[in-house]
């Protein structure tokens, strides 16, 4: 059972605790280059534990929108190396190391992806920062690295990590390049399944096996959604091919700035309205709202 609730009433900051229930807050729900919405990064909170899944270039601003800053967030999980998902990590690392008396937030990450994230994205601004550092700095100098463990679950490979009461299951997705036919041919990208209740697709091309599988076990699903066909995300048209029983458990996120102007992206031949509720989904995921699970 879940409810959707307003947060930050009267400008209060979002508490990073709950009374013990699971809470999911999208600090943004927009696509990579969206300007009307923040980028699709989400806070998972339960009891006195929390994880921020991704922190893109606008992530620090999106936290400020809800009265928080990167120093208050103590645990991160990056899903892949597009800047709308990891563009905020330099700020997080440098702020913690140099402005917060050497504090180290946690980062949940697999070894191979850690190497990639560091060498190809973060090292440029973070590797050489101190006159007497003696050696190039590493990700582990900025973050307390936490390793999920590999497992076979529900017929596929997953990596599990227990963060207090929050059970996180990570699965690979096929996101980029657009020519990747198999997940193994694509760059590292992942979705998450939280407490075996909430599935968040992560950035992904359309892989019907995942929503079909998680619809059977998840209470609620969030799927990334692109308003045109082709490219590296699941399109609205493709998601419409899912059975109604699957769509009715699903909110859509990672949408472009014209999401609410269906005339600009729905064709007459499409056979749907572009209003996700009328088309059988739960709706557009809303940023800065809490999805609370009792």
Q: How crowded is the C-beta side of 136, counted as CA atoms within 13 Å?
A: 10
Tell me the number of residues near Zn ion by CB under 5 A: 2
82 is a contact residue toward Zn ion (CB under 5 A): yes
Of the pair 203, 292, the CB lying nearest Zn ion is at 203
Distance between start and end Cα atoms, the chain? 6
CB nearer to Zn ion: give 176 or 293.
176
| Dmax (CA) of the chain | 65
Asked if 54 interacts with Zn ion (CB under 5 A), we say: no
Strand 22-26 to 42-46 pairing: antiparallel
CB of 139 to Zn ion, least distance (A): 20
User: What are the phi and psi torsion angles at 278 (to 5°)?
Assistant: -65, -25
Q: Which is nearer to Zn ion, 84 or 279 (CB)?
A: 84
C-alpha distances out from residue 161 to 77, 110, 215, 224, Å: 11, 11, 21, 23
Residue for token pair 């973060």: 122
Segment near Zn ion (CB under 5 A); pick from 5-13, 77-85, 95-103, 106-114 = 77-85
Q: What is the footprint of Zn ion within residues 164-223 (CB under 5 A)?
A: 203
Nearer to Zn ion, 55 or 166 (CB): 55
Q: Does 97 bind Zn ion (CB under 5 A)?
A: no
Q: How far is the CB of 113 from Zn ion (least distance, A)?
A: 14
Subset of 14-53 contacting Zn ion (CB under 5 A): none
Closest separation between CB of residue 82 and Zn ion, Å?
4
Q: Which is nearer to Zn ion, 203 or 279 (CB)?
A: 203
Helices (H), 37-169: 59-65, 83-86, 89-99, 111-116, 123-126, 139-142
Q: Report CA-CA distances (Å) from 208 to 117, 235, 246, 247.
A: 28, 12, 10, 11
Least separation in angstroms between CB 188 and Zn ion = 11
Q: Which is nearer to Zn ion, 54 or 292 (CB)?
A: 54
- Shortest distance in whole angstroms from residue 126 CB to Zn ion: 21
**Cβ–Cβ < 8 Å for 103, 71:** yes
Write out the residues near Zn ion by the rule CB under 5 A: 82, 203
């Amino acid at each position: 059972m879940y409810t959707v609730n307003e947060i930050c009433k009267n400008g209060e900051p979002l508490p990073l605790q709950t009374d013990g229930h699971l809470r999911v807050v999208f600090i943004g729900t927009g696509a990579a280059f969206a300007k009307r919405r923040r980028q699709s990064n989400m806070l998972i909170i339960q009891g006195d534990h929390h994880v921020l899944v991704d922190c893109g270039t606008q992530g620090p601003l999106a936290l400020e929108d809800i009265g928080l800053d990167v120093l208050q967030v103590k645990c991160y999980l990056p899903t892949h190396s597009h800047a709308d998902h990891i563009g905020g990590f330099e700020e997080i690392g440098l702020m913690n190391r140099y402005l917060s008396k050497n504090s180290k937030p946690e980062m949940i990450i697999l070894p191979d992806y850690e190497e990639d994230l560091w060498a190809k994205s973060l090292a440029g601004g973070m590797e050489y920062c101190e006159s007497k550092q003696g050696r190039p700095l590493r990700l582990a100098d900025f973050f307390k690295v936490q390793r999920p463990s590999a497992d076979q679950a529900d017929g596929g490979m997953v990596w599990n990590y227990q963060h207090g009461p929050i059970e996180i299951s990570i699965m690979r997705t096929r996101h980029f390049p657009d020519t990747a036919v198999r997940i193994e041919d694509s760059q590292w990208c992942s979705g998450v399944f939280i407490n075996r209740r909430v599935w968040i697709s992560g950035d992904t091309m359309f892989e019907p096996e995942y929503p079909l599988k998680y619809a059977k076990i998840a209470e609620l699903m969030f799927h990334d959604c692109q308003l045109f066909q082709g490219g590296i995300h699941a399109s609205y048209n493709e998601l419409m091919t899912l059975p109604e029983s699957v769509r009715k458990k699903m909110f859509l996120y990672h949408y472009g700035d014209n999401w609410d102007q269906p005339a600009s992206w729905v064709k007459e031949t499409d056979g749907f309205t572009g209003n996700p509720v009328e088309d059988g989904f739960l709706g557009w995921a809303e940023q800065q709202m809490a999805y609370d699970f009792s």
